[in-house]
Amino acid sequence: MHIGGIERNTLLDYPGRVAATVFAAGCNLRCLFCQNSSLVDGVVQEIREEDVLGFLESRKGKLSGVCISGGEPTLQPDLPDFIRKLKEMDYKVKLDTNGSYPEMLKTLADEKLIDYIAIDIKTDKALYRRLCSVDIDTDKVEESIRMLIDGRFPEYEFRTTVVAEYYDENVAEHLAEWLAGAKKYYLQNFVDTNTTFVGRGVLHGRTKEELEGYADILRKTISEVSLRGID
């Protein structure tokens, strides 16, 4: 595994568990709003896998879960082997992914390696390529979406970072169709920082009232829609 960072203790990344988060280096997308832009090109100083595993071994009994985020973890062919090592330590494993590699998700599902999976839904299909800055195949994302809705993983969620320029009522309507039948979807507001690819002042978030309006639209087809990290 190419590992670009580790958060040694988190109560936020893995719902209901005290966990560590391992950040995979490298990503196939270049989302304009990305808050982990230093990981995208894989230029960060990597942490040795054996050092990460050694730390997690020392924290058994104090941590109960490991979240694998990024970057994009499913780019890495040795991801299943890394997760097997975590399972040997009796950790529950959560995966954060953009859903563009359903072939890897099938492997993980077939081996029952993932306990919780979260797919980041960027926007609706028509705006994906512009927001992600690459020619992403949204059919691949849709294939991954169907795997979650069809019950291939024990627990799952979809989530979107809401960027005002790429999310409005029409987008919410389209996503309600795309994610119809899903159990859980979270809206989290974009926070403007200088770590994004476009710098400060270019992209914007939405008001709480606007987010609640989108949630009402999405609840027509999705069982549970919540705002995350919004007071």
CATH number of the domain that residue 212 is part of:
3.20.20.70
pLDDT given at position 42: 64
Confidence category of residue 229, pLDDT binned at 50, 70, 90: confident
Q: State the total domains in the chain.
A: 1
Q: Summarize pLDDT for 36-82 with one digit per residue, the tens.
A: 777 887 667 889 999 999 999 999 999 999 999 999 999 999 999 99
Q: What is the DSSP string of 142-205?
A: HHHHHHHHTT-SSEEEEEEEE-GGG-SHHHHHHHHHHTTT-SEEEEEE----TTSSS-TTSS--
Domain of 202? 3-227
Answer for the pair 205, 167: CB distance below 8 angstroms, yes or no. Answer: no
Report the Cα 23 to chain-centroid distance in Å. Answer: 11
Q: Output the CA angle 186-177-168, nearest 5 degrees.
A: 60
Return the closest-CA partner of residue 24 out of 83, 64, 65.
83
Return the closest-CA partner of residue 4 out of 58, 78, 71.
71
* 3-state SS, residue 90: coil
Structure tokens at 18: 């005290």
Structure tokens at 221: 């087809």
Long-range contacts of 87-93 (CB under 8 A, 24+ apart): 87/113, 89/56, 89/57, 89/60, 90/60, 91/56, 91/60, 91/63, 91/64, 91/65, 91/66, 92/14, 92/17, 92/64, 92/65, 92/66, 92/116, 93/65, 93/66, 93/67, 93/68
- The pLDDT of 16-36, averaged and rounded, is 93
- Lowest mean pLDDT, pick from 13-17, 33-37, 105-109, 112-116: 33-37
